[in-house]
Amino acid sequence: MNNKKIQLDSISQLIDVMDELRVKCPWDQKQTFESLKSLTIEETFELAEAISENNIDEIKNELGDLLLHIIFYSKIASETKLFDISDVAKSITKKLIFRHPHVYGDLKDIDENQVKNNWEKLKLKEGRKSILEGVPKTLPSFIKSMRIQEKVSNAGFDWVSRKEAKNKITEEFYELEEEVRSGNLENIESELGDLIFSVINYGKFLGVNPDNALEKTNKKFTKRFMLLENKLKKDGKTLSDTSKDELIDYWEKLKK
């Protein structure tokens, strides 16, 4: 038995299990697109966490959970003849072939950046009025900013050099400081957003995923702060009765 046959048989078995659960399990019977939505989002974040931690077993498990959700949605839709899992597979296959003319068409010998640029042009040919139309409104703000900047960059709208991107951070920082002096909270919020947006863009020029970078800092800070709490406890102290200078001294020692 070849590998593809094994893979198809495994997916077929999962579809059979889903069919049976939809008939025999009270919880599965009650699920709808809407009731599954938040669970799907949760599973996506669990997959992202497993990837960040490079936990291969958990990546496999979380991919299984997401695959189940795809089959679940397709099963619910098939019951009212909206679509089924076959339609889902055909739809993405058709899209992939259309968006890869350098593989399936006459467009040859293009590099990665040209592939990205062409990808956005092809999306517009599919009927979208803007290259930003496909950015989900419900994405977390940080990730949404990354996707917006990635898309406009692929379309050719971007700083030419890393230096220009860095200078934009400095410019936005001074504009923020000016609004801080004025005390206008609405303008301060706006300029802070501009500054964060510029830092995210700079990360792209550095070849660093800003969301991953921030999450690593979150984990590093959390770990170090919990060590600080434990150290204070061993010394018979608490955060509230320790001076700022002492806390800074503890913190610097933990960093080392």
Tokens 């397709």 identify what position?
A: 74
Dihedral sign, Cα of residue 104, residue 105, residue 108, residue 110: negative
Three-state SS at 115: helix
CB 208 within 8 Å of CB 165: no
CB 225 within 8 Å of CB 239: no
Rounded Cα gap, residues 46 and 66, in angstroms:
10
Structure tokens at 3: 């590998």
- The model's pTM: 0.69
Rounded Cα gap, residues 23 and 21, in angstroms:
5
Structure tokens at 182: 């004025």
Domain boundaries, the chain: 3-97, 213-255
Q: Could you tell me how many helices (H) and strands (E) the chain has, helices first?
A: 12, 0
Rounded Cα gap, residues 45 and 53, in angstroms:
12
What pLDDT was estimated at residue 160?
A: 85
CB 174 within 8 Å of CB 195: no
Residue (of 162, 151, 158) closest to 121 by Cα position? 151
The per-residue pLDDT string of the chain (256 residues; one tens digit each, 9 = 90 and over) reads 588 899 999 999 999 999 999 999 999 999 999 999 999 999 999 999 999 889 999 999 999 999 999 999 999 999 999 999 999 999 999 999 998 988 898 877 788 877 877 777 787 778 788 889 888 888 889 999 999 999 888 888 888 899 999 999 999 999 999 999 999 999 999 999 999 999 999 999 999 999 989 989 999 999 999 999 999 999 999 998 899 999 999 999 888 7
Rounded Cα gap, residues 164 and 147, in angstroms:
20
Fold assignment, 3-97? Helix Hairpins (1.10.287)
